[in-house]
Amino acid sequence: MTNKFETEVIHSVHTKQQGIKSKATPIYQTSAFTFNDLDELEGFYQGEGNYLYSRVGNPNTDELGQAVAALEHAEDGVAASSGLAAILAGVLAVVRSGDHIVAADDVYGGSFHMLKAELERFGIETTFVPFSDLDNVTNAIKPNTKLLYTESITNPLLRVEKLEEVIALAKTQNLVVLVDNTFATPLHVRPYELGADLVVHSATKYIGGHSDVTSGVIVGRKELIEAARARVINLGANLSPFEAWLTCRGLKTLALRMKAQSGNARMLAESLRENSNVEKVYYPFTEADQGFGAIVTIELANHVDTDQFFKSLGWVKIVPTLAGVETTVSHPLKTSHRALPPEAQAELGITYRLVRISVGIENGEDIVAQFTAALELAVN
């Protein structure tokens, strides 16, 4: 029987321990696991036991990795301490010093900084090009290129990646494809099913969903996940049991939350598109009947005072992140993309007037009214 997503998301989460019939998975809040004797200890290293030390593995972190892998229909998955930690583990599962990466130029600023500023210190070069024209990607590929890196929906300008085309190009060049699927979630897109080798989530966002945990997950081909798991373990990027448990608890309501938030986002985007105080609305209107994700990005009109707009939002809070059940806003130029060089910010359109809205589960009409009022109060 093939279950729908709403059923899968509930029943993919639960680690069942032999002889224990708890409805919810217990929290294994322990740094280490015990052994009866040295033979049993040695058995772990011979593959006969599951757990030794929570940095190496824990039932709660395993549950999270396996649950997201099941939703993405991937072979395996591993949890990490953050979305960036999961990205790092995935990248280092593929490349080493002397290798080259081609990445989309409009990815999340933290990913840009890690690839450009950190990994290049270790001899891993990244070329950033617009993936909107795949000729740019083809022209950027070098003999030592090993990986193509992009996002299913880019942050913050919400370009929907042509994943099938990117993956087809990668296959002709024998390259690995890593896709950050944080904004879309497996409800909207499953890149692994389309042929991507690795899929990453900042589970801090929609997977957890309640702004109370920092975590990441990477899923994909089994041999690549084994390599990523080794990076998580050996670089100390493991997730704590309690945070894994919290993320799994949040995951169960992903379908309900994401449908409500995506519907509200489309309503808000359509309203703001007609508002004379908004210069431009970034939202993938044509991708699905109910919209495509729960983020709306807007560029304020010239006659709107950006600072006053942020001061006039009332119950809509300013935060540097996204995807909680509450509607929030962020300022990409000052937060997520502040590390980009000014020329890169300008080329992408990351300006002072750009606002990223993370739409929540409140009443949709209330959300629209709040932003309409804030815009009116900020008119010069």
Residue 330 to residue 9: CA distance in whole angstroms: 29
Virtual torsion, Cα 313, 317, 318, 323, nearest 10 deg: -120
Q: Are strands 328-330 and 317-318 parallel, antiparallel or unpaired?
A: parallel
pLDDT digits (tens, 9 = 90+) for 82-132: 999 999 999 999 999 999 999 999 999 999 999 999 999 999 999 999 999
Burial (CB count <10 Å: 0-12, 13-18, 19+), residue 279:
middle
pLDDT of residue 318: 97
| Residue 195: count of CB within 10 angstroms of its CB | 14
Identify which of 77, 295, 61, 63 has the alpha carbon closest to the alpha carbon of residue 192. Answer: 77
pLDDT of residue 17: 63
Which is more confident, 230 or 19?
Answer: 230
Residue 334 to residue 355: CA distance in whole angstroms: 10
- 151 and 189 in contact (C-beta within 8 Å)? no
As given in the structure block, the two tokens for residue 58 are 């824990």
* The CATH fold of domain 5-251: Aspartate Aminotransferase; domain 2 (3.40.640)
Query: What average pLDDT is seen over the chain?
Result: 94
pLDDT digits (tens, 9 = 90+) for 47-89: 888 899 999 999 999 999 999 999 999 999 999 999 999 999 9
Residue 81 to residue 77: CA distance in whole angstroms: 14
What value does the mean pLDDT take over residues 239-267? 96
Virtual torsion, Cα 198, 201, 131, 135, nearest 10 deg: 0
pLDDT of residue 19: 64
Band (pLDDT 50/70/90 cuts) for residue 1 is very low
Is the pLDDT at 362 greater than 80, yes or no?
A: yes
pLDDT digits (tens, 9 = 90+) for 134-164: 999 999 999 999 999 999 999 999 999 999 9
What value does the mean pLDDT take over residues 208-227? 98
Which parts of 49-184 fold into alpha helices (H)? 59-72, 83-92, 109-113, 134-140, 163-173
Same fold for the pair 5-251 and 254-377: no
Please state which CATH number belongs to domain 254-377: 3.90.1150.10
pTM (2 d.p.): 0.94
As given in the structure block, the two tokens for residue 116 are 């450009």
Q: Domain spans of the chain? A: 5-251, 254-377
Nearest 5°: the CA angle 235, 238, 239 is 155
pLDDT digits (tens, 9 = 90+) for 284-324: 987 766 568 999 999 999 999 999 999 999 999 999 999 99
In sequence order, which residues have a C-beta less than 8 Å from that of residue 267 and are 6 or more positions away? 364, 365, 367, 368
In the chain, beta strands by DSSP E: 76-80, 100-104, 125-129, 145-151, 176-180, 198-201, 216-220, 278-282, 295-300, 317-318, 328-330, 354-358
Question: Three-state SS for 330?
Answer: strand
